[in-house]
Structure 1
Amino acid sequence: MPLEVQIGDRQHNLQVPSGTVADALAWSRIAVGPLDLVDPSLETPVDADMYIRIVIRERRVSEALVPVPYAVVWEGDPTLPIDHQALRAPGRAGSTVQRNLDEHHDGQAMPDLRRTESWLADAPQPRRIAYGRMIVRRVYESPAGDSVDYWRKMRMWTTSYSPARAGTPTDAPWYGYTFSGEPMRNGIVAADLDVLPLGTRVFVEGYGEGEVLDTGGGLGPRDLDLGYTDEDYRSWARWSDVYLLWPPPPADEIVWILPPIQADR
């Protein structure tokens, strides 16, 4: 009996005896692979002018190593001076194996049938960095003859401001007042309060002693705004050594790891 067999883009018109689809294909010496799809199924009885579709199915496996970055672990060291760091372990990236199982029908990839599995082949080793938590009382002798006891020296971008230069409307009730409620005066400085809490006392060469009693939205972790009255105002815009005066605050108020200095200023 006549029937038509489609294999990929090839079409075969056959004459076969009665039987099943499997018998017809065997009679015609058409091999069917174990993964191939046959429609109708091999057990279906053959009818005259039947159309049989065979899809050649392949499964391909590919593997790739995918790097796994290492974590950076910071460890406080009470024997290391504050603002010093020591590398304890360099860290090493790991890797995972990603296996893709792709299916192709008549040579065409079937992305909806892709299966992916992965597993850790080599565990990453963390980079371990110790940071100093030892605080030592030190003395700074300035060229002008000032002597101050301090516990930390920070490199900070120092600017200056006064009531008339703070950007506050002169008719605002808070004009001339700081975040702490204190009226603006020489010796009040503004900082990022997450780095230098209210009440932190500092010394800056050329300015003298100041107390953090103000802040501002534009201040970063290494910014210090030096306060003046309008009459005494002096313009600042430079990097300065800022000495945090003794005694230090409680340990939970100290930012032990400072952000890097921005080189574009």
Structure 2
Amino acid sequence: MPLSPPRLSDQILLSFPADHVLLVTFNRPKSLNAMSAQMSQDLKVALEWFDEEPSLWVVIVTGTGRAFCAGADLKSWNDNQQSGRTNEQENVASDLYGFGAISRRATSSKPIIAAVNGLAFGGGMEMVINCDIVVASEDAKFGLPEVKRGVVAIQGGIPRVTVVSGRQLASELLLTGNPVSAQDARDRFRFVNKVVPASQVLPAALDFARQIVENSPDAVQSTKKGITLTLHYPVDEAFNVNVWSNESARVYKGENIKEGLKAFVEKRPPNWKNPAKL
């Protein structure tokens, strides 16, 4: 059955580079893919559709031009602040998914891969730090410069960087607001999996995606659920919540566990099915 993706503006491009893989491309290159209200809404719609589409198992997010995402559209933000038309604190607190529908996304059990083709600043960095796997170009730069503009990396970046990098390195990023290289993001701050030449960013991200979709989608989604829960709960509680989750129920009641075990016994590659809705 052919896919029926949602209708979006030209600020977000959707494509399907491999079986079971969705590619989401930020498409405001003249603005360094800074997040507009329209782009944010499009991302929310696209990712909610991805979560509900059984035949899509992994999503890759990337950007056009020389930036992944330079963060919020500060010109628009400034206009709203000066006019008093927005209650930013209330908006942030009530936003379920956070910046770009990614930075606080915790309900999805499908893997998200960031293919960072250039600058990832502010909210762009906050999105990256909440992705499951991060591939970065050698010339990519990462930063949380909010304090330099009188604002805060409030969309999930502060706790996530602290968990991943530790207090002192997180403080270096967050309190100075200075950018770091892709190599430092991998070797010191530990939120990048792989650094590659610019031309290899998307191929490397696709390689990770293909490796993931070779596995049972039911098992992958239950495993991601367990990882996410471990970031929010003590170990024993994370185990209990995960073992009784819908994702775990689908593993043990679904067809893919039977297929995986049978394929092992018969010494052949498994033929996975799309996860069933419970």
TM-score normalised over the length of structure 2 = 0.17
Q: From the two aligned structures, give the one with the greater helix fraction.
A: 2
Q: Which has the larger radius of gyration?
A: 1
TM-score normalised over the length of structure 1 = 0.18
